């Protein structure tokens, strides 16, 4: 039961002081809301992936899988023969664009594009998902309108599917084409497809209708022969699942003789033994794992991204805690007299503390409750941004629906309450120490003794030093949380320095303000001085917001400049050519050799650099091997290396069959030039688990466990998963020689548009190509970059909003507390306008001081973000540049916002309150 | 009672049961000005007060403003602590009590009426009265009923739901009186209870104070510089510059053994 003292004193005050209560609640709600939104959006994106994995795995409890290159289909026969395997089913699986009905008219679609080179190629992953195009070419939105949807096409062997029971849930007799295990037999028709009920409904498709899918530039027309009713499949891949015969998929998607997976049902008691046996008998680049392991790999890959978003979402929650601290501090100050009376009539210290902790908890519980609702709404908006970024950066399916999970709500709600209670604890304990004898003066402010001020300042400096030590230790020891801890300690240090900084600036600005604004300026600074214990809390909150604002702007600005320089260095070809759909499937898309050769033969073409890339698992993390022609790269490209001369490294790598690795790959796997890695038959496994090379070669024809020396480390910002680049000869030995995209270098004086038309003409009407000028590709790369950070800006804006709410709340409370002084001012002849001016000056001054302290904190935080957190999680080198514009805008915006926040308290001070105070006197 | 040199040997001596309040050589000093450190000037508000007050006795402490009257009352209430000396109330030495025990002392053994009433503005009259009992963990319904009964005694039944700011000064002080009595304390302390009241309201409050304390057999210590207020006391103690200068009733039979001449 809630004690009467709380109900009567705190609850009634909260209800009576509605604007202040609502401001604080709104702050907490925003903090919790942002946190829950980010968490829901990222967990939904991952849940969408793992949901798809589970749904298409059916009853399989083990699978054989590989990276995007797939593996030899003979592995299926081998797996089936292993004792303990009850059933095996081969699978080919591709992401494809889709449109209902017949293919788009080739004349229009043939010039459109959706793709670009992916993570393994020359430009940032996803850089072409929605690119611009040459002046006279249809652009990406056009291509999207022609093939508006994205589907997961699964090729299965109808004779093997029976025991897996994944595509057999025919609920409606009308759609039942056959019975029992023969249900998928209709798929022997090479154009037949079964589609989910969701996909059918989305496009109004029925039995007998056509659906065109496109994964590698060539449209494949399918006829809907069955509707899949399985509930799990309606959520897999957003409900967009198409099942076809495995031969159709292999032929239609360049997978002849290859499989993406073999799903197995193994006797549960023999699972480990079977897995061990399969690992022994199969080449080591085929991963033998439970289906859920795939979800875990993706989770590992996006963990850094998710963690950073979560850390950012903490900012709003952190700022909200200042709001609660501030609100409860104000409450304590204003009720100092009441506390004295309560202590005098028998309230114990514990009861006093509990009462104010209760106030904080009320803000926490109600604010968190509102925040959970707000967060769910925000999550719907954030899902698109988060999911699309994950899809662009990591090639994870884009989530369509939100999966609200109880743990996200519990964590966010619990954090909201905990943060509010912790924030209230400081003023609550301070209130409990109030002696009844010294507490009889109503509204007495807490005077900060000089000794306390010195202690706070000293503590701030010590903490700042500790933050530096933690950062240095993190960099040396590579501790995952050290960067965040260092940032947190910096923020606490800034908060401890706030009172001293406020007084120092007040002293510094006092005279100029007096000169500028006369007696009003002097009174404003005077008020600030006497209430420094309270105002420094709001200065600290502003410092946190501005600090993060400045730090993020510096980091993102520096990062963008670095990436822009890199993009300009890297994308140097005049035209980039790839099949439409390339971006979805990377290496499973193919540019025909004939097209590459005939393009090379064009008179205006000086050179062609072909690309190929794959996604593999290396050392338990996804990685992207990429193929380049090192000789051409040396002559035309401008790869920038961490150390050494680029052309020299490439020449040496070519001569000795060595690889070059991206900076993030080197950092994740602790590699330096001269070290070795094992690829093509051993990635992701400890050496002992590798299969003997002879056996591997017998099945796959690949070299197994090829040891490769690292010739150099190059700067790359396409993916933090890491890129291993090698010359075409070496790559072909490991993964074959197909080309998925190419860069075309033109002779001086050539017309890019004319060459572009020639290439499209060479491809013929059957192959849909994306031919992009490098300018468009570069623009798209930066567009992806900006989109990635858009959600960061949104989080930042909310943190600033919460801080401004804090200014309004603090000023209102200060004004209420000071009503007698204001009344005396009015009685002494101050005009209404003068009182308003004083309060707004004070407010603006608070904003200015908070912003200046925030700028200082921002510099430190930016250095931590770039040199510690980024290095630790992403492994990118960012050249830091402090843009004066960032600092100027932060100071101007925050000072203006704080001044405006003073309007309402100022009007209150000059109006009703002044009159009341005069009457009281 | 005495204003003479204290007998230090008697410090800590437990008073006999008939003594409700005993002060022995009590000194209370306050720091002055804004400077800190050992050189900071000290102001001696009470300078060696020794005093016994018998159970059921009504004592008026008089003296000019700033003489130390309220400080004396705060020491007895446990709101403040002496710089040196001992304070015994209802058989307990306050020096031996920790903060929680002092809180219980204020809640259960003394009732306090302030000059400025100090009612909580968010609470109604009956809630203000009920507050000390509820803080002690008493059941809410029974406590409120008891508060109503007390309000009836101070003739404020009709105003029991009124918030303090709608009450007159006299009414507020009667609510404060009822609040001071809700725990049936053996000692009732009143600090200038009529200081903010007109003569009519003051007379009414004083009448009630006498009546209620007599009915409960409570000891009353009344700090005042009002002649009318002092008149309700059986004994007058005068303080000047922190020292006892006059105590006509001081040679009574229940005087403590230690500090007596």
Chain B: residue whose CA lies nearest to A451: B36
Instruction: Give the whole-angstrom CA distance, residue A367 versus residue A23.
Output: 10
Which residues on chain B are in Cβ contact (under 8 Å) with A450?
36
- Provide the pLDDT for residue A46: 76
Least confident of A64-78, A124-138, B131-145: A124-138
User: Helices B125-135 & B140-153, crossing angle to 10 degrees?
Assistant: 130
Q: Do A411 and A419 touch, CB atoms closer than 8 A? A: no
Q: How confident is the model at residue A918 (pLDDT cuts 50, 70, 90)?
A: low
Answer whether A433 touches B (CB < 8 Å): no
| Domain covering B56-76+97-246 assigned CATH 3.40.720.10 in the classification | no
- Provide the pLDDT for residue A250: 87
Chain A: residue whose CA lies nearest to B120: A338
- Provide the pLDDT for residue A2: 66
Kindly determine whether residue A436 and residue B107, on different chains, have CB atoms separated by under 8 Å: no
Question: How much of chain A exceeds pLDDT 90, in percent?
Answer: 11
Q: How confident is the model at residue B25 (pLDDT cuts 50, 70, 90)?
A: very high
pLDDT (average), residues A488-500: 90
Instruction: Give the whole-angstrom CA distance, residue A660 versus residue A727.
Output: 9
Angle (CA) A186-A191-A196 rounded to 5° is 70
Instruction: Give the whole-angstrom CA distance, residue B76 versus residue B95.
Output: 11
CB-CB: which of B80, B116, B132 is closest to A346?
B132
Least confident of A92-106, A448-462, A604-618: A92-106
Q: Work out the mean pLDDT of chain A and round it to a whole number.
A: 78
Residue A438 has pLDDT above 80, yes or no: no
- Provide the pLDDT for residue A118: 32
Write the burial class of residue A190 (CB in 10 Å: 0-12 exposed, 13-18 middle, 19+ buried): middle
pLDDT (average), residues A475-500: 85
- Provide the pLDDT for residue B253: 34
ipTM: 0.80
- Provide the pLDDT for residue A139: 42
Helix (H, G, I), strand (E, B) or coil at B198: coil
Residue A735 has pLDDT above 60, yes or no: yes
Task: Read off the pLDDT of residues A666-723 as tens digits, 9 standing for 90 and up.
Answer: 888 888 899 988 876 533 333 333 333 333 333 433 335 688 899 999 988 877 778 8
Q: What is the DSSP letter of A747?
A: P
pLDDT (average), residues B145-152: 93
CB atoms within 10 A of CB A478: 12
Strand A676-679 and strand A706-714: the pairing is antiparallel
Count of helices and strands (H, E) across chain A: 33, 21
Q: Do A412 and A368 touch, CB atoms closer than 8 A? A: yes
Which residues on chain A are in Cβ contact (under 8 Å) with B119?
341
pLDDT (average), residues A361-380: 91
Instruction: Kindly report the pTM of this predicted structure.
Output: 0.69
Per this entry, what is the length of chain A? 921
CB-CB: which of B74, B100, B120 is closest to A338?
B120
pLDDT (average), residues A864-869: 86
B27 or A399, which is more confident: B27
Angle (CA) A680-A686-A688 rounded to 5° is 100
Instruction: Give the whole-angstrom CA distance, residue A693 versus residue A681.
Output: 8
- Provide the pLDDT for residue A304: 65
Q: What is the DSSP letter of A446?
A: P
Instruction: Give the whole-angstrom CA distance, residue B99 versus residue A118.
Output: 71
pLDDT (average), residues A67-83: 83
Q: What's the farthest any 2 CA atoms get from each other in chain B? A: 57
Least confident of A303-317, A361-375, A473-487, A890-904: A303-317
Tokens 């399989």, located at residue: A60
Q: Do A45 and A238 touch, CB atoms closer than 8 A? A: no
Return the exposure string of A346-375: e unless at least 16 CB atoms fall within 10 Å of the residue's CB, then b.
Answer: bbbbebbbbbbbbbbbbbbbbbbbbbbebb
Residue A124 has pLDDT above 50, yes or no: no
Answer whether B39 touches A (CB < 8 Å): no
Contacts of B189 (CB under 8 A, 6+ apart): B73, B76, B77, B110, B111, B112, B113, B180, B220, B221, B223
CB pairs under 8 A between A and B: 80
Handedness of CA A569, A575, A581, A587 (dihedral sign): negative
Contacts of A813 (CB under 8 A, 6+ apart): A20, A327, A330, A333, A334, A534
Which residues on chain B are in Cβ contact (under 8 Å) with A451?
36
Instruction: Give the whole-angstrom CA distance, residue A885 versus residue A905.
Output: 31
Strand A241-245 and strand A149-156: the pairing is parallel
Instruction: Give the whole-angstrom CA distance, residue B159 versus residue A411.
Output: 48
Strands (E), A395-520: none
DSSP states along A785-841: HHHHHHHHHHHHHHHHHHHHHHHHHHHHHHHHHTHHHHHHHHHTT--HHHHHHHHHH
- Provide the pLDDT for residue B28: 92
Answer whether A337 touches B (CB < 8 Å): yes
Q: A815 CA to chain B: closest CA distance, Å?
A: 19
Instruction: Give the whole-angstrom CA distance, residue B246 versus residue B4.
Output: 11
Chain B: residue whose CA lies nearest to A17: B122
Chain A: residue whose CA lies nearest to B104: A346
A104 or A71, which is more confident: A71
Residue A95 has pLDDT above 60, yes or no: yes
Q: A341 CA to chain B: closest CA distance, Å?
A: 6
Q: Which of A581, A574, A576 is nearest to A767 (CA)?
A: A581
Kindly determine whether residue A8 and residue B120, on different chains, have CB atoms separated by under 8 Å: yes
Which residues on chain A are in Cβ contact (under 8 Å) with B77?
344
Answer whether B108 touches A (CB < 8 Å): yes
- Provide the pLDDT for residue A817: 67
pLDDT (average), residues A730-739: 80
- Provide the pLDDT for residue B40: 57
CB-CB: which of A340, A345, A348 is closest to B131?
A345
pLDDT (average), residues B140-159: 92
Instruction: Give the whole-angstrom CA distance, residue A206 versus residue A239.
Output: 16
- Provide the pLDDT for residue B55: 92
Helix (H, G, I), strand (E, B) or coil at A221: strand
Which residues on chain B are in Cβ contact (under 8 Å) with A431?
none
Q: Which of A578, A574, A663, A657 is nearest to A612 (CA)?
A: A578
Measure Cα distances from A58 to A235, A236, A292, A612 in Å: 14, 12, 12, 32
Q: How confident is the model at residue A135 (pLDDT cuts 50, 70, 90)?
A: very low
- Provide the pLDDT for residue A852: 93
A583 or B224, which is more confident: B224
CB-CB: which of B99, B107, B131 is closest to A349?
B99
Kindly determine whether residue B122 and residue A9, on different chains, have CB atoms separated by under 8 Å: yes
CB-CB: which of A5, A344, A451 is closest to B79?
A344
User: Helices A774-817 & A884-901, crossing angle to 10 degrees?
Assistant: 40
Task: Read off the pLDDT of residues A755-788 as tens digits, 9 standing for 90 and up.
Answer: 888 888 888 777 777 788 888 778 877 877 787 7
Task: Read off the pLDDT of residues A518-552 as tens digits, 9 standing for 90 and up.
Answer: 778 888 888 777 777 777 877 887 888 788 888 88
Q: What is the DSSP letter of A909?
A: I
Least confident of A29-43, A418-432, A907-921, B7-21: A907-921
- Provide the pLDDT for residue B125: 93
- Provide the pLDDT for residue A417: 94
Per this entry, what is the length of chain B? 261
């Amino acid at each position: 039961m809630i004690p009467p003292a709380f109900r009567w004193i705190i609850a009634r005050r909260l209800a009576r002081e509605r604007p202040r209560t609502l401001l604080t609640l709104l702050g907490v709600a925003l903090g919790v809301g942002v946190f829950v939104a980010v968490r829901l959006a990222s967990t939904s994106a991952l849940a969408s992936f793992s949901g798809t994995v589970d749904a298409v795995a059916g009853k399989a409890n083990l699978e054989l899988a590989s990276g995007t290159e797939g593996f030899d289909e003979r592995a299926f026969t081998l797996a089936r023969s292993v004792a303990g395997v009850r059933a095996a089913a081969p699978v080919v699986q591709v992401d494809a664009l889709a449109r209902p009905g017949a293919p788009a008219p080739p004349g229009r679609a043939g010039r459109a594009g959706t793709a670009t080179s992916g993570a393994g190629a020359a430009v940032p992953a996803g850089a072409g998902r929605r690119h611009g195009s040459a002046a006279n070419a249809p652009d990406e939105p056009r291509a999207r309108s022609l093939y508006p949807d994205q589907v997961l096409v699964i090729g299965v062997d109808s004779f093997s599917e029976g025991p897996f029971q994944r595509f057999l849930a025919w609920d409606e007799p009308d759609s039942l084409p056959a019975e029992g295990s023969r249900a998928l037999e209709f798929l022997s028709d090479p154009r037949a497809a079964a589609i989910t009920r969701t996909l059918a409904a989305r496009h109004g498709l029925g039995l007998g209708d056509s659906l065109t899918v496109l994964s590698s530039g060539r449209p494949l027309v399918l006829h809907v022969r069955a509707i899949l009713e399985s509930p799990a499949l309606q959520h897999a891949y957003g409900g967009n699942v198409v099942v076809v015969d495995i031969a159709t998929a292999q032929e239609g998607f360049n997978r002849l003789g290859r499989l993406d997976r073999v799903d197995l049902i193994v006797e549960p008691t023999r699972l480990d033994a079977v897995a061990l046996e399969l690992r022994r008998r199969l080449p080591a680049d085929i991963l033998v794992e439970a289906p859920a392991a795939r979800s875990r790999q993706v989770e590992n890959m996006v963990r850094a991204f998710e963690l950073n978003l979560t850390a950012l979402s903490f900012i709003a929650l952190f700022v909200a805690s200042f709001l609660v601290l501030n609100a409860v501090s104000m409450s304590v100050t204003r009720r100092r007299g009441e506390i004295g009376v309560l202590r005098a009539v028998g309230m114990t210290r514990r009861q006093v503390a509990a009462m104010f902790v209760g106030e904080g908890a009320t803000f926490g519980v109600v604010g968190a409750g509102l925040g959970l609702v707000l967060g769910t709404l925000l999550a719907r908006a954030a899902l698109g941004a988060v999911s699309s970024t994950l899809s662009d950066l990591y090639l994870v399916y884009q989530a369509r629906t939100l999966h609200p999970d109880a743990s996200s709500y519990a964590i966010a709600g619990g954090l909201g309450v905990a943060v509010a209670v912790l924030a209230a604890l400081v003023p609550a304990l301070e209130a409990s120490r109030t002696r009844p004898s010294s507490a009889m003066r109503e509204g007495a402010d807490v005077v900060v003794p000089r000794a306390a001020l010195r202690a706070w300042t000293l503590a701030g400096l010590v903490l700042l030093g500790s933050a530096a030590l933690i950062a240095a230790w993190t960099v040396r020891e590579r501790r995952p949380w050290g960067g965040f801890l260092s940032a947190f300690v910096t923020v606490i240090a800034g908060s401890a320095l706030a009172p001293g900084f406020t007084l120092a600036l007040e002293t510094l600005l006092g005279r100029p303000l007096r000169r500028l604004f006369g007696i009003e300026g002097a009174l404003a600074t005077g008020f600030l001085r006497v209430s420094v214990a309270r105002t420094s809390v709001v200065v600290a909150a502003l410092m946190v917001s501005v600090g993060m604002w400045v730090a993020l702007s510096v980091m993102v600005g520096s990062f963008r400049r670095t990436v822009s320089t890199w993009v300009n260095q890297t994308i140097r070809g005049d035209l980039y050519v790839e099949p439409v759909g390339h971006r979805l499937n990377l290496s499973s898309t193919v540019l025909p050799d004939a097209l590459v050769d005939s393009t090379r033969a064009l008179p205006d073409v000086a050179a062609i650099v072909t690309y190929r890339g794959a996604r593999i698992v290396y050392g338990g993390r996804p990685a992207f091997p990429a193929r380049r022609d090192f000789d051409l790269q040396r002559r035309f490209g401008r790869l920038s290396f961490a150390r050494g001369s680029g052309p020299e490294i490439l020449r040496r790598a070519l001569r000795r069959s060595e690889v070059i690795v991206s900076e993030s790959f080197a950092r994740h796997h602790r590699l330096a030039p001269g070290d070795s890695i094992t690829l093509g038959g051993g990635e992701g496994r400890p050496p002992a688990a590798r299969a003997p090379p002879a056996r591997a070669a017998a099945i796959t024809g690949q070299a197994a466990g090829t040891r490769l020396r690292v010739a150099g480390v190059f700067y790359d910002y396409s993916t933090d998963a890491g890129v291993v680049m090698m010359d075409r000869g070496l790559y072909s030995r490991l993964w074959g020689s197909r080309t998925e995209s190419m860069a075309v270098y033109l002779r001086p004086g050539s017309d890019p548009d004319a060459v572009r038309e020639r290439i499209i003409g060479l491809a013929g009407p059957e192959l849909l190509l994306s031919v992009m000028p490098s300018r468009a590709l570069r623009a798209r790369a930066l567009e992806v970059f900006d989109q990635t950070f858009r959600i960061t800006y949104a989080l930042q804006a909310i943190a600033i909003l919460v801080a401004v709410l804090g200014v309004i709340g603090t000023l209102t409370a200060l004004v209420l507390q000071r009503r007698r002084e204001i009344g005396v001012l009015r009685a002494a002849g101050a005009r209404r306008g003068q009182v308003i001016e004083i309060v707004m000056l004070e407010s603006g001054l608070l904003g200015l001081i908070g912003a200046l302290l925030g700028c200082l904190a921002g510099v430190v935080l930016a250095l931590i973000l770039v040199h510690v957190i980024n290095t630790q999680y992403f492994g990118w080198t960012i050249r830091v540049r402090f843009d004066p514009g960032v600092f100027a805008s932060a100071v101007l915006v925050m000072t203006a916002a704080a001044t405006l926040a003073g309007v309402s308290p100022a009007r209150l001070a000059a109006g009703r309150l002044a009159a009341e105070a005069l009457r009281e006197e | 009672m005495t204003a003479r040199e204290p007998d230090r040997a008697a410090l800590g001596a437990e008073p006999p049961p008939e003594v409700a309040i005993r002060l022995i050589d009590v000194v209370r000093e306050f720091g002055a000005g804004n400077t800190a450190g050992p050189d900071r000037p000290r102001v001696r508000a009470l300078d060696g007060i020794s005093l016994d007050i018998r159970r059921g006795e009504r004592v008026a402490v008089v003296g000019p403003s700033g003489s130390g009257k309220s400080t004396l009352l705060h020491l007895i209430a446990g709101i403040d602590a002496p710089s040196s000396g001992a304070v015994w109330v209802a058989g307990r030495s306050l020096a031996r009590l920790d903060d929680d025990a002092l809180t219980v002392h204020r809640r259960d053994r003394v009732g306090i009426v302030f000059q400025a009433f100090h009612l909580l503005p968010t609470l109604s009259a009956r809630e203000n009265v009920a507050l000390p009992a509820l803080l002690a963990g008493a059941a809410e319904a029974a406590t409120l009923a008891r508060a109503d009964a007390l309000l009836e005694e101070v003739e404020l039944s009709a105003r029991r739901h009124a918030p303090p700011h709608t009450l007159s000064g006299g009414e507020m002080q009667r609510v404060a009186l009822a609040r001071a009595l809700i725990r049936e304390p053996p000692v009732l302390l009143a600090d200038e209870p009529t200081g903010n009241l007109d003569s009519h309201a003051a007379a009414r409050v004083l009448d009630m104070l006498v009546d209620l304390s007599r009915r409960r057999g409570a000891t009353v210590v009344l700090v005042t510089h009002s002649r009318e207020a002092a008149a309700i006391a059986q004994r007058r103690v005068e303080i000047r510059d922190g020292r006892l200068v006059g105590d006509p009733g001081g040679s009574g039979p229940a005087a403590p053994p230690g500090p007596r001449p």
